[in-house]
């Protein structure tokens, strides 16, 4: 009795108003018009629902945010519908509003006629100027964590899984794609159909509409992008098939059919989003030398961790991201070798430690308490890197082969389910720890899951290449070597990043100019390096980079890049004035999620 109480308590999603324990959505069927002039998606959603045995009557409660609901109907057979009473509750700034629909006891289908609003938090409507060809507008959705409710009324919790299908009408010149089966060469332009036969959580329902084309990479992988970008993207990502094979060798077959990548315009606020069958990706990873494609390994890895086995609530987010970073590293090792993977691991550890130092103790734990908070508050390096380190430490204690077998079994056991941290821990106990109490004793589980900081026993990545790079950085700072004399010819992006972060925070004008002259950082085509350089430029008042900073902040909306730059600018009064001036121009082009983050910094 007590046990099941806690289990139920753990599964409760504080970020949804819905009542799946009473009545549960099993299928979502969309019939929508994408109206660019109004910035509105409009039409119907038809939900198949199933009552729990002890919930013989009573309403279904859905999540919504800023939706205009015109009508609700219900049906017992899916054919004849009768109008149903509905009510939109009070709006909460984080959660939106419950949409309660009264249903007769025998109802199995609910149909809602509705429209999204132009400021929907889960959609970004781009003007033609924000695209590569500058001819047509563009739309994309971003559901995670709780934004799908701003364009579809449904049970917006990762604990509920549903199949989905969609009929989407767009302007004729544009192509629509979704996180589902689709035909890359539809017969009729402007009318598209999709079907996702596997039950997925709502945050993975995704759509994009734009002037995009398709380029195949392998039999089951390809790229969608705007025409000027597509060839470059297909080249950059042409190891995707190898990555899939590496992941399949480790964790069993890829279960989703195709794996395509959609390269979005630069305002996409994230690096990538693991929408099933169709990863959404920022164009900022197109460095031209494949040096940033670990992003693909990451989003692909979510096909197992996250999409196949899903966090039941946003408290359990580390189950999605920690596992995924772990798998990403394993794929990278197999495809690009141990040295590069080690370099990426060192950089990650640095990122974690740097961010950890700024976080309150309660935000440094894997099983984070998000009561009364936006799930976005949990989006730090902690679930990602600390989560990965926890798995690495299990791997180190139990041996690679045993841990591989364990993880493969885990994905099989929980396939197409949403689980809590406790359910994972129970499975871990039974299937790995119990068999070897001596080894298990080496892993401080409670410390990993519930305590701040990084356990001292966490494995530490090292890289010989990085040791050399740091040596040159020090010699240059000490005046022992000129920048132009450092042997950088074969440096990888990771080595450049390590070089820049190994330098002291304060450099004088002469030093900044010497670096720029020797390495042309201000003109680099690698956005990851550029971002790090611009941060240093702000810190050290290196005004020669001002123009590039301005154009970067206006063009690129990737939050990971722009947030630290605005934060750094905001540290001085002149910087803040400059930031405000740039932001006035940049803000209309930012995604609502990115704009909210920057608003907070510059308020």
Stretch that binds ligand BES, among 267-275, 419-427, 441-449, 581-589 (CB under 6 A): 267-275
Residue 304 binding ligand BES, by CB under 6 A: no
d(CA 303, CA 217): 19
Residue 531 binding ligand BES, by CB under 6 A: no
Closest CA to 416 of 51, 177, 145, 158: 158
Of 100 and 305, the one with the shorter C-beta distance to ligand BES is 305
DSSP class per residue in 458-507: S-----HHHHHHHHHHHHHHTTSS-GGGS--TT--HHHHHHHHHHS-S--
Tokens read off for 200 = 């997925």
Of 144, 226, 236, 299, the catalytic one is: 299
What mask of x and - would describe binding to ligand BES in positions 307 to 326, judged by CB under 6 A?
Answer: --------------x-----
Place of tokens 């722009």: 562
**Min CB(511)–Zn ion separation in Å:** 37
Sheet containing strand 161-169, strands side by side: 82-83, 68-75, 109-115, 40-51, 23-35, 161-169, 191-201
Q: Which of 35, 246, 264, 295 binds ligand BES (CB under 6 A)?
A: 295
Residue 330 binding ligand BES, by CB under 6 A: no
Q: Which of 272, 276, 283, 387 binds ligand BES (CB under 6 A)?
A: 272
d(CA 213, CA 516): 38
Stretch that binds Zn ion, among 116-124, 315-323, 443-451, 528-536 (CB under 5 A): 315-323
Of 98 and 158, the one with the shorter C-beta distance to ligand BES is 158
Stretch that binds ligand BES, among 46-54, 103-111, 293-301, 330-338 (CB under 6 A): 293-301
Q: Which of 214, 254, 379, 427 binds ligand BES (CB under 6 A)?
A: 379
Stretch that binds Zn ion, among 5-13, 99-107, 311-319, 323-331 (CB under 5 A): 323-331
Stretch that binds Zn ion, among 324-332, 336-344, 387-395, 484-492 (CB under 5 A): 324-332
Q: Which of 136, 277, 302, 591 binds ligand BES (CB under 6 A)?
A: 302
**Min CB(111)–ligand BES separation in Å:** 29
Closest CA to 356 of 473, 463, 458, 498: 458
Of 192, 384, 472, 542, the catalytic one is: 384
**Min CB(355)–ligand BES separation in Å:** 13
Place of tokens 């033609």: 128
Question: What are the C-alpha distances in Å from 200 to residues 112, 157, 278, 407?
Answer: 21, 11, 14, 21
In sequence order, what are the residues at sequence separation of 6 or more whose Cβ sits closer than 8 angstroms to the Cβ of residue 475? Answer: 481
Tell me how long the chain is.
603
Of 59 and 271, the one with the shorter C-beta distance to ligand BES is 271
Choose the one of Zn ion, ligand BES, none that binds residue 272, judging by a C-beta under 5 to 8 angstroms depending on kind.
ligand BES
Residue 298 binding ligand BES, by CB under 6 A: yes
Question: What are the C-alpha distances in Å from 311 to residues 33, 61, 145, 424, 519?
Answer: 31, 21, 11, 10, 44
Of 373 and 560, the one with the shorter C-beta distance to ligand BES is 560
SS3 138: strand
Q: Which of 13, 260, 299, 363 binds ligand BES (CB under 6 A)?
A: 299
**Min CB(392)–ligand BES separation in Å:** 16
Place of tokens 């600018």: 569
Place of tokens 């119990």: 434
Of 41 and 273, the one with the shorter C-beta distance to ligand BES is 273
**Min CB(301)–ligand BES separation in Å:** 9
Residue 222 binding ligand BES, by CB under 6 A: no
**Min CB(273)–ligand BES separation in Å:** 5
What mask of x and - would describe binding to ligand BES in positions 540 to 579, judged by CB under 6 A?
Answer: --------------------x-------------------
Q: Which of 239, 274, 316, 395 binds ligand BES (CB under 6 A)?
A: 274
**Beta bridge pairs of residue 260:** 222, 278
Stretch that binds ligand BES, among 114-122, 188-196, 232-240, 271-279 (CB under 6 A): 271-279
Clarify whether 299 is annotated catalytic. Answer: yes
- CB burial class (10 A; 0-12, 13-18, 19+) of residue 456? exposed
Beta strands 161-169; 191-201: pairing state: antiparallel
Of 145 and 207, the one with the shorter C-beta distance to Zn ion is 145
DSSP class per residue in 577-591: HHHHHHHHHHGGGS-
3-state secondary structure 377-438: HHCCHHHHHHHHHHHHHHHHHHCHHHHHHHHHHHHHHCCCEEECHHHHHHHHHHHHHCCCHH
Q: Are 327 and 305 in contact (CB under 8 A)?
A: yes
d(CA 480, CA 478): 6
The DSSP symbol for 54 reads T
Binding-residue total with ligand BES (CB under 6 A): 14
Q: Is 235 left (phi over 0), alpha (psi -120 to 50) or beta?
A: alpha
**Min CB(298)–Zn ion separation in Å:** 6
Clarify whether 384 is annotated catalytic. Answer: yes
Catalytic residues: 299, 384
Contact residues for ligand BES (CB under 6 A)? 144-145, 270-274, 295, 298-299, 302, 321, 379, 560
Contact residues for Zn ion (CB under 5 A)? 321, 324
């Amino acid at each position: 009795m007590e046990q099941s109480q806690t289990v139920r308590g753990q599964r409760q999603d504080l970020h949804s108003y819905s009542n799946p324990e009473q009545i549960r959505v099993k299928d979502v069927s969309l019939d929508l018009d994408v109206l660019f002039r109004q910035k509105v998606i409009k039409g119907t959603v038809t939900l198949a629902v199933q009552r729990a045995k002890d919930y013989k009557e009573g309403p279904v409660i859905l999540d919504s945010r800023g939706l205009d609901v015109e009508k609700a109907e219900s049906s017992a057979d899916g054919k004849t519908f009768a109008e149903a009473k509905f009510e939109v509750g009070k709006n909460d700034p984080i959660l939106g509003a419950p949409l309660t629909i009264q249903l007769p006891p025998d109802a199995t289908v609910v149909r809602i006629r509705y429209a999204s609003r132009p400021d929907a938090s889960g959609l970004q409507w781009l003007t033609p100027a924000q695209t590569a060809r500058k001819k047509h507008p563009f739309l994309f959705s971003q559901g995670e964590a709780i934004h799908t409710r701003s364009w579809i009324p449904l049970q917006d919790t990762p604990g509920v899984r549903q199949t989905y299908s969609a009929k989407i009408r767009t302007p004729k010149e544009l192509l629509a794609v979704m996180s589902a089966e689709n035909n890359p060469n539809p017969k009729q332009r402007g009318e598209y159909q999709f079907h996702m036969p596997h039950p997925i959580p709502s945050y993975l329902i995704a759509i994009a509409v734009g002037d995009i084309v398709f380029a195949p990479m392998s039999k089951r992988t390809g790229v969608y992008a705007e025409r000027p970008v597509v060839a470059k993207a297909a080249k950059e990502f042409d190891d995707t098939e190898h990555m899939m094979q590496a992941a399949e060798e480790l964790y069993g077959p890829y279960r989703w059919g195709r794996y395509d990548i959609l390269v979005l315009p630069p305002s996409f606020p994230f690096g990538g989003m693991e929408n099933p069958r169709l990863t959404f990706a920022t164009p900022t990873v197109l460095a031209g030398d494949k040096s940033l494609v670990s992003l693909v390994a990451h989003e692909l890895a979510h096909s197992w961790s996250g999409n196949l086995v899903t966090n039941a609530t946003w408290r359990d987010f580390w189950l999605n991201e920690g596992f995924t970073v772990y798998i990403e590293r394993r794929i990278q090792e197999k495809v690009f070798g141990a040295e590069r993977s080690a370099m990426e691991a060192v950089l990650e550890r640095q990122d974690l430690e740097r961010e950890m130092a700024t976080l309150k103790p309660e935000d440094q734990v894997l099983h984070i308490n998000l009561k009364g908070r936006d799930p976005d508050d949990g989006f730090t390096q902690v679930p990602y890197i600390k989560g990965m380190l926890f798995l690495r430490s299990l791997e180190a204690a139990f041996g690679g082969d045993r841990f591989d077998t364990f993880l493969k079994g885990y994905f099989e056991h929980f396939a197409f389910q949403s689980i809590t941290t406790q359910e994972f821990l129970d499975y871990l106990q039974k299937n790995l720890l119990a068999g070897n109490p001596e080894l298990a004793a080496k892993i401080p589980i409670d410390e990993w899951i519930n305590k701040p900081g990084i356990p001292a026993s966490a494995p530490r990545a090292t890289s010989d290449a990085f040791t050399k790079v740091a040596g040159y950085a020090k010699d240059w700072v000490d005046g022992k070597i000129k920048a132009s004399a450092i042997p950088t010819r074969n440096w990888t992006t990771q080595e450049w990043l390590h070089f820049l972060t190994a330098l002291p925070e304060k450099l004088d004008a002469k030093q900044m100019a010497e670096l720029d002259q020797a390495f042309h950082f201000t003109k680099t085509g690698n956005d990851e390096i550029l971002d790090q350089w611009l941060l240093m430029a702000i810190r050290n008042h290196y005004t020669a980079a001002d123009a590039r900073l301005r154009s970067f902040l206006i063009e690129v909306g990737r939050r990971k890049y722009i947030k630290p730059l605005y934060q750094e600018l905001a540290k001085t009064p002149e910087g803040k004035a400059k930031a405000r001036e740039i932001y006035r121009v940049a803000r209309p082009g930012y995604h609502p999620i990115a704009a909210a983050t920057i608003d907070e910094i510059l308020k």
